[in-house]
Amino acid sequence: MKDFSNKNNQIKLSGKLTRERHRSMICKTFKFKIDKRNISSDTLNKLKMQFVECKWVYNYILGEFEDKFSIDYKNLVNITHKDKDGNDIPVKISYIGSSIRQTLIQQIQTQIKSLSKLKSHGYSIGRLKYKSEWNCIELRQYKITHHIKKNYVRIQGIGKWLPILGYSQLKQYTDIDYANAKLIYDGHDYYFLLTCYIPKKEHITYNKIRGIDMGVSTTVTTSDGVKYDVMVEESERIKKLQRKLQRQKKGSNNRYKTKLKLKYAYIKLSNKKRDKANKIVHDILSGCDTVIMQDEQIAGWKTEFTSGRNSKIQHSCLGTIKRKLMESPKTVILERWYPTTQWCSICGSKTKLELSDRTFECCNCHNTEDRDIHAANNMIAIYLNYKDASGTGGTSKPVKKISFKEDFLHSRKMQCL
């Protein structure tokens, strides 16, 4: 009998050293599009069957195994799946490898543990449901389940290298550590998402701080006086397909085709929002050392405001901009309880404003300024006077968070009296 203790110790030591090295690096995910134009029909069918077999294996595990924690992934080769009439059809799994089958089992086990935890806290839960389609495959072992080389990527179960678009994203980096990946199918195209660890760039000092105010009317405003329009309206094609979908019979082939067209139209809309958000975030972060913003609850604005303002939030990329800014190590987060709009930085007084008031005028010293620019500048003033109290704020994201202290505003007011 072989002694695996020494091998296991080497694996543990190697993993520990890798994790320590990754702590000093930046984790980033790159998205590549698989070029279907340069793939043979046989290879394209293998790519499609990987998603089909993942759905078969997932549904087979849910239906055939009572104990989901004692499944041997090696035996998940000859299984059965049901057709549209409910008949069992025996199939042999030949396109997805053992690593992907093992990952499917682990996903089900994780979902069961999550439901069990919710139930223990008194929540009413259901049960895991069968999948009608599968659109994401986890690839967890680099050079085993996936491998990237210049403009090509290799996936386990597909014999040939697949051409990809967007490899130029990696050319600007050196000493990259490749990690896990995902294979995505959106109903029209295939994408390869690769997680990498890249070295930190040398910090360039600009000696500049920029405040960011987010709102419903003018969306994003900087302390420099720049206002960004983040609206991305739904196209007429989406509205037309939605009306067409309502008239079609449920379960019909034409309705299914319309749903696919609508899905692809929404993908194009999401891409537009993502592109616009990337450009705005890059413009905000460039040329400054620190970005100050408040922890606005953008999701809550949809229920807080009227229907006209709700549509503004829904048809914008404001949430994406906030998320990307929070991912930057330059960002400092102020709690949303700071009255940045009402507080006067000159005399320390508070002036209540209605949402329709777009100009701030202090009731005490009569200081007048644009409402949003005034709020953005107040964030900088609060940060400069209270930055020593910044901390992680209980979040895993690389941001500093400053908690609300009423005594700070009171002390500022007393200094001005």
pLDDT of residue 395: 37
Single out the residue in 180, 199, 218 at which a domain terminates: 199
Give residue for tokens 């209605």. Answer: 354
Rg (CA), the chain: 27
Same domain, 221 and 146: no
Could you tell me where the beta strands, DSSP code E, fall in 242-353? 290-294, 331-334
pLDDT of residue 42: 93
Report the C-alpha gap between 80 and 90 in whole angstroms.
4
Same domain, 182 and 279: no
Long-range contacts of 308-311 (CB under 8 A, 24+ apart): 309/216
Exposed e or buried b per residue across 181-202, where buried means at least 16 C-beta atoms within 10 angstroms of its C-beta: bbbbbeeeebbbebbbbbeeee
DSSP 189: -
Q: Range of 99's domain? A: 30-199
Give burial (CB, 10 Å; 0-12/13-18/19+) of 323. Answer: middle
Same domain, 184 and 313: no
Residue 226: alpha-carbon gap to chain centroid: 26
pLDDT tens, position by position, for the chain (417 residues)? 455 577 788 878 888 888 888 888 888 899 999 999 999 999 999 999 999 999 999 999 998 888 888 888 888 889 988 877 778 889 999 999 888 999 999 999 999 999 999 999 999 888 899 998 899 999 998 989 999 998 999 999 888 899 999 999 888 888 889 999 999 998 788 999 999 998 877 666 667 889 888 877 667 888 888 888 888 888 899 999 999 999 999 888 999 899 989 988 998 998 899 999 999 999 999 888 888 888 877 766 665 555 556 666 777 888 888 888 888 888 888 877 777 777 777 776 777 777 677 787 777 777 778 888 888 888 888 888 766 544 433 333 334 555 555 555 555 544 444
| Paired residues of 210 in beta bridges | 291
Report the C-alpha gap between 345 and 338 in whole angstroms.
13
Same domain, 185 and 218: no
List all residues 6 or more positions away from 107 whose beta carbon is below 8 Å from its beta carbon. Answer: 58, 138
Domain annotation covers residue 5? no
Q: Domain count for the chain, please give it.
A: 2
Domain annotation covers residue 25? no
Of 172, 185, 178, which is closest to residue 141 (Cα–Cα)? Answer: 178
Same domain, 220 and 195: no
Residue 123: alpha-carbon gap to chain centroid: 26
- Kindly state the helix (H) or strand (E) to which residue 163 belongs, with its residue range: strand 162-165
Domain annotation covers residue 41? yes
Single out the residue in 199, 226, 256 at which a domain terminates: 199
Of 163, 139, 150, 137, which is closest to residue 44 (Cα–Cα)? Answer: 163
Domain annotation covers residue 405? yes
List all residues 6 or more positions away from 397 whose beta carbon is below 8 Å from its beta carbon. Answer: 326, 327
pTM over 0.75: no
For residue 145, CA distances in Å to 141, 178, 255 come to 5, 12, 36
